[in-house]
């Protein structure tokens, strides 16, 4: 297992550690619910140094990134971030990722930790075919960065104490390079995976201890706490955010996953699988991603069968949990389109029992 620059910090804090994406990661410190609610109401810090970082630059960078991704990067400007997916050429998804526009000819990309090698291999082949030189025009810089996600409504108040650059009023999905806690050239982006507000910080691993200590010292007055991957998952699920390997995968298209909003069929946006996905949007799909709330008592888990009233299997659960913010069991599922409308009763098969649930509109947590 690999370690992040913060592994010893987690162990010293008594974190429950486990393997995730090949890394020794903290699952929880003081308990999932405590950490979850603290992020929703205050500020929590996640070690996300296991995430990947790619960079494309040069005259061909724009066309390369545009072709690989379903969203339209022409909507970006310097300092703006975009969420997108990588279509896999077969109607499914290689991964989802963030794209940062550094300049017209330079893009910084953040793929999922578990998919770094997969994404790199996929994108590298396309890069070479389009005339980009690996290691120069397209680079894998994943080992060059440590990353913290400082999340919650008080997160930017904490950050403002550590920099002279104005950050409290930054718009959602924008970024700046700044001096933070005496460390130059930190990338601060107002993104996140919790729906609670906040930012993510990218910096050299050699500065990891300095930034961690400064962030927690600055956040003391706001009740800052470390947060593990356990509550990262419950927070994102409450917002209906997709997780690769759950709501999206190589067998699920962005249209089926309800990601029409980042699949842009605009003139000039020629991306992989465009024709196939355009036909899906026009003709409809046989399955759709839905959110549901349990009516009967029980916790839905990934892979559980979803049935109709007659007990016929109509889909599978993608994710499920007991929601700390909502106080009820929630989940997502891929179901036959016929059963995807709001208020449709569905049944989750748990230990050979059919437990009643109902399709609801996401996000589950309305704030």
Domain ranges of the chain: 7-49+145-237, 54-143, 286-367
Record the pTM. 0.96
Quick one: fold of 286-367? Elongation Factor Tu (Ef-tu); domain 3 (2.40.30)
328 burial via Cβ count (<10 Å: 0-12, 13-18, 19+): exposed
Closest CA to 356 of 316, 317, 303, 307: 307
Cα–Cα dist 167/243, whole Å: 28
Cα–Cα dist 40/337, whole Å: 33
Q: What is the pLDDT along the chain (367 residues), one digit of tens a residue?
A: 999 999 999 999 999 999 999 999 999 999 999 999 999 999 999 999 999 999 999 999 999 999 999 999 999 999 999 999 999 999 999 999 999 999 999 999 999 999 999 999 999 999 999 999 999 999 999 999 999 999 999 999 999 999 999 999 999 999 999 999 999 999 999 999 999 999 999 999 999 999 999 999 999 999 999 999 999 999 999 999 999 999 999 999 999 999 999 999 999 999 999 999 999 999 999 999 999 999 999 999 999 999 999 999 999 999 999 999 999 999 999 999 999 999 999 999 999 999 999 999 999 999 8
Quick one: fold of 7-49+145-237? Gyrase A; domain 2 (3.30.1360)
**Which two tokens mark 135?**
């290691």
**Which two tokens mark 71?**
């969203």
CATH fit for domain 54-143, picks 3.40.50.720, 3.20.20.370, 3.40.50.2300, 3.30.70.1400: 3.30.70.1400
pLDDT number for residue 367: 84
Cis peptide bond upstream of 363, omega within 30: yes
């Amino acid at each position: 297992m690999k370690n992040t620059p913060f592994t010893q910090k987690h162990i010293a804090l008594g974190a429950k550690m486990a393997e995730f994406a090949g890394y020794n990661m903290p699952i929880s410190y003081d308990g999932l619910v405590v950490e979850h609610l603290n992020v929703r109401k205050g500020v929590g810090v996640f070690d996300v140094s296991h995430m990947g970082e790619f960079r494309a630059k040069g005259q061909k960078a724009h066309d390369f990134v545009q072709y690989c991704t379903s969203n339209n990067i022409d909507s970006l400007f310097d300092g703006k971030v975009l969420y997108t997916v990588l279509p896999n050429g077969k109607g499914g998804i290689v991964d989802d990722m963030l794209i940062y526009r550094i300049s017209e000819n330079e893009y910084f990309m953040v793929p999922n930790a578990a998919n770094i090698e997969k994404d790199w291999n996929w994108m590298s082949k396309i890069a070479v075919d389009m005339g980009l030189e690996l290691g120069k025009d397209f680079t894998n810089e994943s080992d060059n960065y440590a990353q913290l996600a400082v999340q919650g409504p008080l997160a930017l108040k904490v950050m403002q104490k550590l920099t002279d650059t104005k950050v409290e009023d930054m718009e959602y999905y924008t970024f700046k390079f700044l001096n933070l806690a005496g460390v130059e050239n930190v990338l601060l982006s107002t993104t996140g995976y919790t729906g609670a507000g906040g930012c993510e910080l990218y910096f050299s691993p050699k500065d990891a201890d300095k930034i961690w200590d400064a962030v927690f010292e600055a956040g003391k007055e706001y009740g800052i706490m470390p947060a593990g991957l356990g509550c990262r998952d419950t927070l994102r699920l409450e917002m209906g955010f997709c997780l690769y390997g759950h709501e999206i995968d190589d067998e699920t298209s962005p249209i089926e996953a309800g990601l029409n909003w980042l699949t842009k069929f605009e003139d000039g946006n020629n991306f992989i699988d465009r024709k196939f996905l355009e036909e899906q949007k026009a003709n409809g799909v046989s399955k759709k991603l839905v959110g549901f709330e349990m009516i009967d008592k029980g916790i839905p888990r990934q892979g559980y069968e979803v049935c109709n009233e007659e007990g016929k299997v109509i889909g599978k659960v993608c994710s499920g949990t007991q929601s700390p913010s909502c106080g009820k069991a929630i989940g997502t599922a891929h179901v036959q389109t016929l059963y995807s409308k709001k208020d449709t009763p569905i049944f989750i098969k748990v230990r050979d029992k059919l437990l009643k649930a109902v399709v609801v509109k996401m996000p589950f947590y309305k704030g």
